[in-house]
Amino acid sequence: MSANKILVLGDPGTGKSTAIESLDPKSTFIICSDRKPLPFKDWRTKYKTILKENGKLDLTASNYYSTDSPSIILNLMKAVSENKPETKVLILDTLTAVMENEYMSRIKEKGYGKFEDTALDTFNLLIAPDNLRDDLTVIILAHTEDNTDLDGFRKTSFKVVGGKLIGQNIKPEARFTNVLYTEVIMEDEKPCYYFLTQCDGSNTCRTQKELFEDLRIPNDYQYVLDKIKEYEGD
């Protein structure tokens, strides 16, 4: 049993969260670790957190939950997979916020343990989709950073928070067949938002061979899911 999974990388404000707007709220569940409003109109009427009388989440009635706790996110992913069959898309927005908040909450701690804990929590979140039902698609959003190698070549990749333990040992992009990158282009003096589908040598973007005809596609998650469904012959 393994869910489909997509990694979406890009700087803040480049369209990762906005692309959620095209999805059907009835079949989508959002875990928001960024703890901020979604960037499209009427999102609060579409995505709601309903609590029971005891203060616990009413999973059946909810399709949105805000938390940056790795353990809660893992439990919630499992609960959605096992108990909400109507949910077909599960979004974590963003993994970067989980990493940053965990690191900053322990920044005054001495020793290497905090780095190990952050790396392990990140790894567990990256592999969590591998143990979820196979008709579920998990979309993980994260930020990017630029690095320069010894030859002076700059490359954009998954942003590593709190040291190099994650980047050196986990290689997050390697665990995803489909890694989309955001791109913003000015057209007629207006910003237009896209996803990049293939690596140009300066990033870690990639998608399945012939999944997309174009290097640049709309930043629209429903469009992406429809193309994957067509590609797989479903």
Neighbours of 42 (CB within 10 A): 9
Sign of CA dihedral 58, 64, 70, 75: positive
pLDDT digits (tens, 9 = 90+) for 24-48: 999 999 999 998 999 999 999 999 9
Position 50 pLDDT exceeds 70: yes
158-169 pLDDT per residue, tens: 888 866 666 677
- Report the Cα–Cα distance between both ends of the chain, in Å, rounded: 17
Amino acid 163: pLDDT: 65
pLDDT given at position 117: 87
Give 174-231 pLDDT, tens digit per residue: 999 999 999 999 999 999 999 999 998 889 999 999 999 999 999 999 999 999 999 9
Note the pLDDT tens digit of each residue in 94-130.
Answer: 999 999 998 888 888 888 878 888 889 999 999 999 9
- Choosing among 2.60.120, 1.10.3470, 3.40.50, 1.10.760, the CATH entry for 4-232 is 3.40.50
Residues 133-152 have pLDDT tens digits of 999 999 999 999 988 766 66
pLDDT at 200: 85
Reduce the secondary structure of 53-85 to three states and give it as a string. CCCCECCCCCCEEECCCHHHHHHHHHHHHHHCC
Contact 155, 146 (CB under 8 A): yes
List % helix, strand, coil for the chain (3-state, nearest 5): 35, 25, 40
Q: What is the dihedral of CA 123, 125, 126, 130, to 10 degrees?
A: 120
Domains of the chain, by residue range, sit at: 4-232
> Which DSSP letter does residue 160 get?
P
Task: Please give the pLDDT value at position 8.
Answer: 98
Of the candidates 144, 116, 122, 160, the one whose C-alpha atom is nearest the C-alpha of residue 13 is 144
Query: What tokens appear for 199 in the block?
Result: 């690596």
In this prediction the pTM is 0.94
Contact 197, 211 (CB under 8 A): yes
Whole-angstrom Cα distance, residue 15 to residue 65? 20
Q: Encoding tokens for residue 84?
A: 């909400």
CB 205 within 8 A of CB 216: no
